[in-house]
Amino acid sequence: MHEYLDLDADQKSRLEALERQFAVRRTAIELELRSYNALLAEAIEAEHGAGPRVNAAVDRSHQAMGRLQKETLAHVFAMRELLRPDQAKRFDQAVVKALTEDSREH
C-alpha cells in the first residue's frame, strides 16, 4: 500500500514510526487474546457447555477483540492524517475495498 500512495521521505519516516507503535499495541492485545482463549479452553473442559465460566471467557475475549479493532481503526486514521488529499482519496478507496471485499474470493 505504501508504494501505491507515492509517499515522500517524511511521510515514510512518520508512517514507519506509527507502524512500530501500532505493532506493540497489537502484539499486546493479541497476547491477551491468546490468554483468554486458554481460559476459554479450560472453562469448556470444566463445564462442557455454555456455563458461567465459558460465558465470562467469551465476554473477555470479545472485549479484547473490540479493543484490537478500535486500535486498528485509530491506526488507520493516524496513517490517513499523514497523507495529502490525493493520497487520502486512494487510501480511503483501498480501506473501503478491504472492508467490503468478499474474503471467499481469495
Domain boundaries, the chain: 33-79
Provide the whole-model pTM. 0.82
Question: Crossing angle for the helix pair 9-47 and 52-81, nearest 10 degrees?
Answer: 180
Which pLDDT value is given to residue 63?
95
pLDDT in tens, 69-106: 999 999 999 999 999 999 999 999 999 998 898 765 55
Question: Mean pLDDT over all residues of the chain?
Answer: 92
Given a contact cutoff of 8 angstroms between Cβ atoms, the answer to whether 82 and 11 are in contact is yes
Which residues, other chains included, contact 99 with Cβ-Cβ below 8 Å and sequence gap of 6+?
A: none
Which residues, other chains included, contact 33 with Cβ-Cβ below 8 Å and sequence gap of 6+?
A: 61, 64, 65, 68
